[in-house]
């Protein structure tokens, strides 16, 4: 089982960033797929929390939304949404916020609101949900999305969720707790914030991906770390767990879940 596609590489690479025993506030879609893969492989004791109130969710298939009954049925407990945000998130009890995005910029700021002018947008996106609070209050944030000129942009049409703001110590000056985004994982590479500037630079290229591909699919003048590594290819057991999860989800919902 050595062959894998770029989506599988992205999901596996993102899952590996989640430590065993950590408390993770999970977004629907790609973040949920990666977080549940982590739970099914190297991090069986991870605590997955969803915005609708499930704590310790262990879904057998990927949820369609935060209101999916699979989350509540498999959770250790379910609490009111207000408690999730006030006690768990704002109380400093979330180790990792795992987010997707429609667009991201070089400082890890996220747009999930509109493309184009806010009052007359070309595209109206799903909106903020709990992402602004997760990005603002989680101890660390992971971002996962497919890479392209439309998603990695020099200037966001709208900042839904603040990452490192304008770079440097801007996040600290805004009074936001936590480190903010510590990694952006894509289907091409892994980016991490540069010390001091907090601008995201490429630290790891996925197998077979070239620097030219990353440059061509980034809307700003992307830079590379001095020592760029090659991401470890997915292991057989990681691929098996991921494909089984996708197969169960497809059988239940008619789709793999988390592909966008």
List active site positions. 51
Give the residue among 138, 140, 219, 226 at the shortest CA–CA distance from 186: 219
The CA-based dihedral angle spanning residues 183, 71, 12, 201, taken in that order and rounded to the nearest 10 degrees: -10
Q: Report the C-alpha gap between 187 and 177 in whole angstroms.
A: 29
Q: Report the C-alpha gap between 11 and 194 in whole angstroms.
A: 23
* Residue bearing tokens 């590379």: 224
Give the residue among 233, 234, 230, 186 at the shortest CA–CA distance from 204: 230
Q: Report the C-alpha gap between 246 and 260 in whole angstroms.
A: 14
Q: Which ranges of the chain does DSSP label H, i.e. alpha helix?
A: 6-15, 30-40, 69-74, 81-83, 131-137, 170-173, 211-216, 236-253
């Amino acid at each position: 089982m050595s062959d894998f596609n770029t989506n599988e590489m992205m999901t596996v690479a993102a899952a590996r960033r989640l430590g065993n025993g950590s408390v993770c506030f999970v977004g629907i879609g790609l973040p949920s797929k990666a977080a549940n893969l982590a739970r099914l492989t190297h991090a069986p004791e991870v605590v997955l929390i969803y915005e609708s109130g499930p704590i310790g969710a262990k879904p057998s298939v990927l949820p369609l939304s935060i209101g999916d009954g699979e989350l509540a049925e498999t959770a250790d407990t379910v609490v009111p949404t207000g408690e999730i945000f006030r006690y768990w998130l704002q109380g400093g009890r979330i180790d990792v916020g795992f987010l997707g995005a429609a667009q991201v910029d070089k400082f890890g700021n996220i747009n999930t609101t509109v493309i184009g002018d806010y009052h007359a947008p070309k595209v109206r996106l799903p909106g903020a949900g709990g992402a602004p609070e997760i990005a603002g209050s989680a101890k660390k944030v992971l971002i996962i999305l497919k890479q392209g000129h439309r998603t990695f942009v020099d200037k966001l049409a709208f900042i839904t969720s603040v990452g490192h703001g304008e770079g440097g110590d801007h996040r600290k000056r805004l009074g936001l707790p936590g480190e903010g985004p510590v990694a952006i994982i894509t289907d091409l590479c892994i980016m991490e914030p540069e010390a001091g500037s907090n601008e995201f630079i490429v630290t790891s290229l996925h197998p077979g991906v070239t620097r030219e591909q990353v440059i061509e699919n980034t809307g700003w003048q992307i830079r590379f770390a001095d020592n760029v590594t090659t991401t470890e290819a997915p292991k057989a057991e990681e691929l098996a767990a991921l494909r089984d999860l996708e197969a169960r989800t497809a059988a239940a919902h008619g789709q793999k879940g988390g592909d966008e």
